[in-house]
Structure 1
Amino acid sequence: MLIAYWIVAGLLALAFVLAGSMKAARPKEALATSGMTWVEDCNPGSIKLIGAAEVIGGIGLILPVALDVAPILSPIAAIALAALMVGAVVTHARRKESCTPSLVLGILSVVVAVLGFLVIR
């Protein structure tokens, strides 16, 4: 179980850290021109907050278990990321955009949460 957790959590953390750092670092206009048209519905502060939440959540998937300091925080971070992805799915569905990537990341976040709770028992 621990190996499965590390594989899925590591890949998911990488995805969230990369996507979140892009949202936190790039201006709204650059994100919109790169294909993230959903940013038109948000103010720049909200986009930066979403990006920061993704980066912190991605780090939270790995760091507590790796350091063995409050490892319960890793599955909690996965649950928070799943909730964030529920919001992303709703936003994309409302805009009639493809919500598949957000849905997949949300499901993987739930899988990591379940694996995390099983691993830290």
Structure 2
Amino acid sequence: MDLTLWIAAGLLAAVALAGGLTKTFVPRAKLAAAHGGEWTAEASDGFVKTLGVLELLAAVGLLLPALVGIAPVMVPVTAVCWVLLMVGAMITHARLGQPKLVLVNLVYLALAAFIAWGRFGPESFAG
């Protein structure tokens, strides 16, 4: 179970890193022209970049605290935050009529919920 949680956290961290880098460094106009990025056309640059930075922090928070043994409780806390972020993403993509992206976000949400459950519960770092 511990290995499965590490793999899940690594996969989700990779997703967060990719999304964070894109939102932080790719111009909003280019994001708005890409499939799945249409929502950025109506969002401010600051909002998009803030989400990008939050995703970069999530990538770090899903792995680094446990790897270095400093505040490892931040791993499941980060996973819970990711769940909330994915709820927002699902609502946004549903409003835009993008059911495939809603499903992708649901998968990420489920992965984050699994990490939160596992790291708060049976495979907690506290033990």
Give TM-score, length-normalised by structure 1.
Answer: 0.94
Match of 2:110 in 1: 107
Letter of the 1:40 counterpart: A
TM-fit CA distance, 1:5:
1.1
Higher mean C-alpha displacement, 29-38 vs 63-72: 29-38
Match of 2:58 in 1: 57
**Aligned equivalents of 1:17 and 1:59: distance in 2?**
8
Match of 1:84 in 2: 85
Residue aligned with 1:70, SS: coil
Match of 1:42 in 2: 43
TM-fit CA distance, 1:112:
1.0
Identity among equivalent positions (%) equals 33
Give TM-score, length-normalised by structure 2.
Answer: 0.90
**Aligned equivalents of 2:106 and 2:45: distance in 1?**
24
TM-fit CA distance, 1:38:
1.2
Residue aligned with 2:71, SS: coil
**Aligned equivalents of 2:83 and 2:59: distance in 1?**
11
Letter of the 1:53 counterpart: L
TM-fit CA distance, 1:4:
1.0
Query: Once the two structures are superposed, what CA deviation does each residue of 1:83-121 show, in whole Å capped at 9, x if it has no partner?
Result: 001000011111212211111111111111112123224
TM-fit CA distance, 1:41:
2.4
Query: Once the two structures are superposed, what CA deviation does each residue of 1:51-76 show, in whole Å capped at 9, x if it has no partner?
Result: 11111011100001111111101000
**Aligned equivalents of 1:55 and 1:112: distance in 2?**
18
The number of equivalent residue pairs is: 121
Q: CA RMSD in A?
A: 1.1
Match of 2:71 in 1: 70
Letter of the 2:111 counterpart: L
